[in-house]
Structure 1
Amino acid sequence: MFYMILTLNTHFFHYQECESFQIKRCQRKMKIKAVMIDLSGTVHVGTNLLPGAKEAIVKLKSAKVPIKYVTNTSKESKTSLIRRLKSAGLHIDKDEVFTSLSAARNYIISQNIRPLLLLEKEALEDFEGIETESPNSVVVGLAPTQFHYEKMNEAFNLIKSGGSLVAINKSRYYKSEKGLSIGTGAFVSALEFSTDCKAYVVGKPEKNFFHLALKDFMNDLKPIEVLVAGDDIRDDVLGAQKAGLQGALIKTGKYQEGDEDRFGEPNYLFENLEEMADYVIDQFSDP
């Protein structure tokens, strides 16, 4: 292992390389005090945990590194998601998870809107108590059973009549047990195109999503002190970096070879979640 320190405009940058992984980018050296971890494609795919994911979480928790799971998953409620992950063997608590559904609910309440919810029934639990009679807004999540002509046309007409369009996320695609699958973004874009309006996005990669998740930590943390790890270079990593956090691209899930060069430079690049955990713990324990 070797370390090289460069000085540029009075800021310090670092480059680290070892046998198992590389941090290929130059970035400001800032100690990581907490980690936000994407779930789908980073920790699990479907009902299966990815290799090294469980070990990574155990290591981080044993080292007392604060963790928050941040996910754009909108196909099922937080309770359902946690139940599925526990069944797969991951020890996870409800207060450790911040979802785009949570962000959407917060937004709906803050704006006092009555949504037409284009969601799967498994996700509706997270919107209990929300008024949906005489809707004045369309809220779109990943809802394969809802993306048919009649329902999309209902949403179209509501928006054309003056209703707002809210996207829980605009993910392009995600990794499922059957391979890559189309995400919510295609259907949101269809409504944007046909109604000549722009959706308000509440999930990743929006800056506000990361800052809301940051508030969930008990510690008084600055954005730059938190590392976001995920398999989506644009929504997870570059979104986090634009929001002032550090970003680590994990080469699992939807990751495609060359993503780190094709779309933008991540602060860190790791083969899997366990390598990320080893790096964080190594510098977390430094004085």
Structure 2
Amino acid sequence: WARAVRGLLLDVSGVLYDSGGDGGVPIAGSVEAVRRIKASGLKLRFCTNETQATREKFVKKLQAMGFDISVAEVTAPAPAACHILKERSLRPHLLVHNDLVPEFAEIDQTNPNCVVIGDAAENFTYAKLNEAFRVLIGMEKPVLISLGRG
């Protein structure tokens, strides 16, 4: 059965590194495992549910830990949401972390017709929630895209 495997999809947090502590540390053997998988010729991609940083920032953090990883190899919620936004001609009101906003740079955000919500941290305030509510309240079929559960 192993010969039928052509690629691997690995989660990052808790699989490659432990996110606790000061920014996280690689799990023992994970840097070498990624190197060996890539050297084997298997296609390797990574997935994360990270919603407080761009993929670029996230990848730089992993590279600093010693991982051979590129932005193109990482699947994350924000780029997936951007794909949906483009596909459906949606213009979002963003209720997300400030560090994630650059992921939406190519998306028209004028006159919003939907809301994208993620782990907004300090942006999750009454005023910001009210702005999002005002976007949705007048719609017959409100569109809310969650970058996490829900």
**1:75 Cα offset (Å):** 1.0
**1:107 Cα offset (Å):** 0.6
Q: How does 1:247-266 map to 2 (within 5 A)?
A: none
**Regions of 4+ moved over 3 Å:** none
Distance 2:117 2:13 in 1: 19
Give the one of 24, 29, 34 matched to 2:7. Answer: 34
Q: How does 1:1-287 map to 2 (within 5 A)?
A: 31-44=4-17, 45=19, 46-162=23-139, 163-170=142-149, 185=150
Distance 1:129 1:96 in 2: 20
Tell me the C-alpha RMSD between the 2 structures.
1.7
Structure 1: unaligned runs, 5 residues or longer: 1-28, 171-184, 186-287
TM-score, reference length from structure 2: 0.86
Contact 1:34 1:65 in 2 (8 A): yes
Contact 1:35 1:68 in 2 (8 A): yes
Identical-residue share of aligned pairs (%):
27
CA displacement, residues 143-190 of structure 1 (integer Å, 9 cap, x when unaligned): 1112222212222232222141011221xxxxxxxxxxxxxx5xxxxx
**1:92 Cα offset (Å):** 0.8
Distance 1:126 1:148 in 2: 21
Structure 2: unaligned runs, 5 residues or longer: none
Q: Secondary structure at the match of 1:72?
A: coil
TM-score, reference length from structure 1: 0.47
Comparing both structures, which one devotes a greater share of its residues to helix?
2
CA displacement, residues 39-90 of structure 1 (integer Å, 9 cap, x when unaligned): 1222122332222211211121121121001112121111111111111211
Contact 1:47 1:85 in 2 (8 A): no
Distance 1:142 1:161 in 2: 25
Contact 1:115 1:139 in 2 (8 A): yes
Comparing both structures, which one devotes a greater share of its residues to strand?
1
Contact 1:37 1:70 in 2 (8 A): yes
Q: Secondary structure at the match of 1:145?
A: helix
Distance 2:51 2:78 in 1: 6
Contact 1:78 1:99 in 2 (8 A): yes
